[in-house]
Amino acid sequence: MSFRRRLIELQWYFRMRLGRVLFVGVFLFLVVFVFLQMRSKNTVTFSGDALDKPLPAAWQDAELAGSVDPNTVFAGEELGNYEPKTPEVPSNQPGEGGAPVLVTDEVGLKESKRAEREYGFNTYVSDMISMNRTIPDIRMEECKHWNYPKTLPTVSVVVVFHNEGWTPLLRTVHSVFLRSPPELIKEVVMVDDYSDKEHLKEKLDKYIKRFNGKVSSLSALFTMSLSGMSGKYVDID
């Protein structure tokens, strides 16, 4: 075997060996890198003097939310004290009980597409559904049989909207009153976040008068000026 041939074979051998070494090295580097990344996600890092400082009060062991309330009692087979004693009576309008409303005619399909472009969902169908429509009760059966304290704080329900469709917005307000103990609802405050649609101006102001002062409408700008007064009129808002 000539010296030149021997030299070529040695060069080829070392190139192959170097390639293998580089491949193994890169592979091990990636394995270690991935391992360290996964480990760092499960590691809490403290500053140098963190161990000398007491934990914030919110981090300390305390009674967990949702623990047993001695004033909340399971009523067995009887309905709970805040459950409606008579079932809702469905109307003959579409969408009762959460049933789907199908639109098949040409005009309806056209209007449905227009509504979806404008509001992001089918307000054309929403306009067919009663403001007081019934809905299915999807709670666990046990939830209907609890007695809660007779004296509970009143609440204010705040509904913020911007260029919302007419019936979806007002049906929200109707649902609050239909499915809440009336003595606990102090008011519903509708906060208009700079809407420019005509039906959300004078028409809305006239409509909410039927709630006998239980519903008020405010602009977002006015509400911001009153933000410091939050909580002065009701127990919870």
Q: Quick check: is 125 in a domain?
A: no
Q: Quick check: is 109 in a domain?
A: no
Helix, strand, or coil (residue 134): coil
Whether this model's pTM surpasses 0.95: no
Report in angstroms the alpha-carbon separations of 89 from 86, 132, 176, 177. 9, 10, 17, 16
pLDDT in tens, 118-140: 999 999 999 999 999 999 999 99
pLDDT at position 58? 59
Number of domains forming the structure of the chain = 2
pLDDT at position 8? 62
Q: Quick check: is 12 in a domain?
A: yes
Dist. CA 233–CA 215, nearest whole Å = 14
Q: Quick check: is 206 in a domain?
A: yes
What's phi and psi for 160, nearest 5 deg?
Answer: -95, 135
Sheet strands (E) in 149-206: 155-161, 185-192
Q: Quick check: is 172 in a domain?
A: yes
Domain of 16? Answer: 1-38
Count each helix (H run) and each strand (E run) in the chain, helices first. 6, 5
The tokens for 66 are: 């949702």
DSSP state of 24: H
Q: Quick check: is 134 in a domain?
A: no
Instruction: Give the residues of the chain that fall short of pLDDT 70.
Output: 1-19, 21, 39-67, 220-237
Q: Quick check: is 212 in a domain?
A: yes
Q: Quick check: is 106 in a domain?
A: no
Q: Listing from the earlier edge strand, what are the strands of the sheet with 215-219? A: 155-161, 185-192, 215-219
What b-and-e string marks burial along 64-90, b requiring 16 or more CB atoms within 10 Å of the CB?
eeeeeeeeeeeeeeeebeeeeeeeeee
pLDDT in tens, 31-68: 887 777 776 655 555 555 555 566 666 566 666 556 67
Burial (CB count <10 Å: 0-12, 13-18, 19+), residue 119: middle
